[in-house]
Structures are given as C-alpha cells and as structure tokens.
Amino acid sequence: MPPSKRIVTKQLGELLVERGIINEAQLEKALKLQKEKGGLIGQVLVLLGFVKEEEIAQALTVQYGFPYLPLECYDINAEAIKTIPENVVTQYNLIAIDKIGDLLTIAMSNPLNFQAVEDIELLTKCKVQIFVSTMTDITNAIKKYYKK
C-alpha cells in the first residue's frame, strides 16, 4: 500500500520548469531521449547535464512530500545496515539509515518504487519510513557500509 503523502499532480519535468531549473526546450529534448532510450525523466535530465541529482531529489520532495536527506555527512546506524542484505539494497538503490523498534528508516532515489518498499517491509517485518536521496549518495553509502 503506497504511503499517504501530499501528491502534486504536476509531472517532475513541469515542476523543474516551473522552478526555473530547466527550460521547456531542455524538457522537450529530455522527453524525446526518454522516449527513445527509456529510463526515468530525472535520470535523463542528469545524463544530459541539465540538472544535478540534488535538484531532482529536492523536486521529488516537493512533488510527493518525502523529506530529502543528503547522505554524505550522515552517520548511518550500523544495526539498520544489517537489516537489509547487500543484493537488495543494490537492486533497489536504497539503504537503511536507522531502526527504532519496528520502524525502519530508508533513503532511496526513487521513493515511488512501492514494490521495493513492500519487499523491504516483508523482508524486515518493519514499517518503512522513506527519505529521498540521490542515486550517487546511496551508491557511495552502499560501497562504504557494505565493504567485503
């Protein structure tokens, strides 16, 4: 079941244009490339160099009401890390950052991946609280905390 959050009906691209982060021409170019190659519009815009990952993450927080958490200076709880296996965090590009009782807080780059949230809840038997972070921050945290 998707978390109840404030939903803005505008698409991510429209929000970015409205906020002055990209212009209409950049959005059209990104949408055309997305149609040809696939992928998420945010990733396409980053690939084209029109936006930074942080701008996408912050726009997602505005669009869907999930809080943004930059992970680079955040100390992740070691017990939380142990709750989700490395193959799962890598598959969904997310990381557990804290665990209090049966509440597991995770950071993920795509907070709308409800299948990932459902899988984590089943796997950990915890209720999941979501924060948004950039793909790069999460990848770096996975490398740091899941050292072989």
34-86, pLDDT tens digit by residue?
A: 999 888 888 899 999 999 998 988 888 877 888 999 998 888 988 899 999 99
**Residue numbers of the domain that contains 86:** 78-145
Residue 4 covered by a domain: no
Which residues are CB-contacts of 75 (< 8 A; sequence separation ≥ 6)?
A: none
Residue 59 covered by a domain: yes
CATH of the domain at 121: 3.30.300.160
Question: Is the sign of the CA dihedral 89, 94, 99, 105 positive or negative?
Answer: negative
Q: Please check whether residues 56 and 95 belong to one and the same domain.
A: no
Q: Please check whether residues 60 and 100 belong to one and the same domain.
A: no
Residue 95 covered by a domain: yes
User: What pTM was computed for the model?
Assistant: 0.77
Q: Tokens representing 11?
A: 């698409």
Q: Please check whether residues 83 and 134 belong to one and the same domain.
A: yes
Q: Tokens representing 57?
A: 């993450």
DSSP state of 128: E
